[in-house]
Amino acid sequence: MQITRVSVAAVCLAAAVVLAGCGSDTSSSDRHGHQGSDAHEVIDPLSPQHLGADDTAITAMGMILSWQPAIDDSKADALIRARAYLGGDLLAVAESGTRADVRPDPDWQHWAESNDAVSAVCAHSDTTPTAPAGMRTVVIDVICTQTVLHATSRSTRLTPQLWRTTIVRTENGWRLTDYRFQQ
């Protein structure tokens, strides 16, 4: 009989533990603030709708300064690739389908003939002026370093450049509306 009482007690204890978890109104995801979904939506962390002003400036400038001279007609092709991050006149130029008059890089032809690509990495610069909270238009300085990726598997890092950007908040997130080289 003793074995039966212990077995019955163990089964009752296990059932009580299981049932205690079943009666709760608050699921684990609710307690921790996470809401799941079975919608199978892809969340792109670089989507312009999800980026703040700094990340919009960094992402857009990285795209604008990354070129494929063997494929691109001009640096304007990079502007077209960045159109999801653009607003104002820059977006109008990118959507027009025409190539903007951009100053050609002196090495463009050489890079094209060598089948080289230019990749840019940008970061927030400490020279960014402080903007009052709640501004819909902000100025953000970014420092961008371009690297020439040679077809020979070598690379050449170019001198970092400082760019002053203008970022505007829209209904669909922050957008780059202007950028200027800073000396």
CATH dotted code for 48-182: 3.10.450
Phi, psi of 34 (to 5 degrees): -100, 135
H or E element in which residue 12 lies: helix 2-22
| Tokens 């603030």 belong to residue | 33
Taking residues 34-61, what's their average pLDDT? 74
- The pLDDT mean for the chain works out to 81
Lowest-pLDDT choice from 40-54, 55-69, 166-180: 40-54
For the stretch 156-165, pLDDT in tens is 999 999 999 9
Supply the pTM of this predicted model. Answer: 0.74
- Comparing C-alpha atoms, which of 87, 107, 86, 83 is closest to residue 97? 83
Report the C-alpha gap between 77 and 97 in whole angstroms.
Answer: 10
Taking residues 91-107, what's their average pLDDT? 80
Is the confidence at residue 21, as pLDDT, over 80?
A: no
For the chain, which residues make up each domain, given as ranges?
48-182
DSSP secondary structure, 98-144, as one string: SPP--PPPTTHHHHHHHT-EEEEEEEE-TTPPP--TT-SEEEEEEEE
State the pLDDT at residue 103. Answer: 75
H or E element in which residue 166 lies: strand 161-170
